[in-house]
Each structure stands twice: as structure tokens, then as C-alpha cells.
Amino acid sequence: MSDLIAIAYDDLYKAEEVRLTLAKLQKGRLIELEDAAIVTKDADGKVKLNQAVNLTAAGAASGSFWGLLIGTLFLNPLLGAAVGAASGAISGALSDIGVDDQFMKDLGATLQPGTSALFLLVRKVTPDKVLEQVAPYGGKVLQTSLTKDQETELQEILTNRGIKPAPTA
């Protein structure tokens, strides 16, 4: 089961920076993301949703490949590719995986102008190594499916930006 984590950042581009950092960590197999999306609220208060995966384009590419293959079998590859691309694009546009778009837009509407939020569905994670990389960005936890203790610990790490308090004597 995946965990939902939504974190707000105090500038328009910080969520994208964190997403790029997480993409690098995913290549190193330190985190496995099911979905990642960014919501920004510009200075005029307009909320914009940026999905990490464009399902329509992915569906069109996949559909055109399969359409071309099937079309070749029936001696009409161009028609097969066109029909496959169209049906793939439609199915990609209609399928909504990951975090619900309306949920992200609703939560994004609560952001201050000039800020951003990162929405993640995390399948697997190596917490200590990942938090070490994302803690310096800071952030405020908006909502998670983590336990209260895990959520509190995450917020403390982000608030302190990964700096551990000095031990008291």
C-alpha cells in the first residue's frame, strides 16, 4: 500500500526542485513513487496542477505502437497506427491513477500566493537516506496517510532542515 504525502513550500519552484531530487533518488532505488504531482499558486492566486506523467501522451504512444503492429498484420499499418494512437490517447485521458486531481486542486486553493505543494504517493522508501536529501528544502506537511508519530517526525525533520538539535547535558 502506498502512503500519501503532501508538503507545501514557501516559493513557487521549491516543490519542483524536491520532485527532481526524488526522481534522482528513484533512479538509485532509494524511493519508489507511484505518483508525483505539483500544485502551484501564482501571485494572482491562480492554481495550476503539474502531473509528473502525461497519461494522454503515454496512451497515444502506446496505442500507436500496438495499432501499427496490428495494422501491419492486416496490411494497413498507417490506419492501424492512427486508430491505435487515437484510442490510446482517449484511454490515457480517461484513466486517472495516483492522487485525485480534484483533491490536489482543493488543497492547492488553500496555499498562499507564490507558493507550491508537492503531492507524492510513495510505495517504498529508505527513509533515512531520502530524508537526508529532502530535509534541506524544508516545507510544511499539509496532509499524509502516515501515522501521527511518523507525520510529526517528518515535520520536525523538515522544520529543522535535517539539523539535529545538540544534546543537552
For 42-94, write each residue's pLDDT tens digit.
999 899 988 875 443 444 455 555 555 465 556 555 655 555 555 554 544 44
CATH topology of domain 3-53+107-159: Alpha-Beta Plaits (3.30.70)
Long-range (24+ apart) CB contacts under 8 A made by 108-111 are 108/39, 108/40, 108/41, 108/47, 108/49, 109/41, 109/47, 110/142, 111/8, 111/39, 111/41, 111/47
Q: Which residue has the higher pLDDT, 105 or 142?
A: 142
Q: Mind listing the pLDDT tens digit for each residue in 103-123? A: 788 888 889 999 999 999 898
pTM exceeds 0.85: no
- Percentage of the chain exceeding pLDDT 90: 41
H or E element: which one contains 67?
helix 55-73
Domain ranges of the chain: 3-53+107-159, 55-94
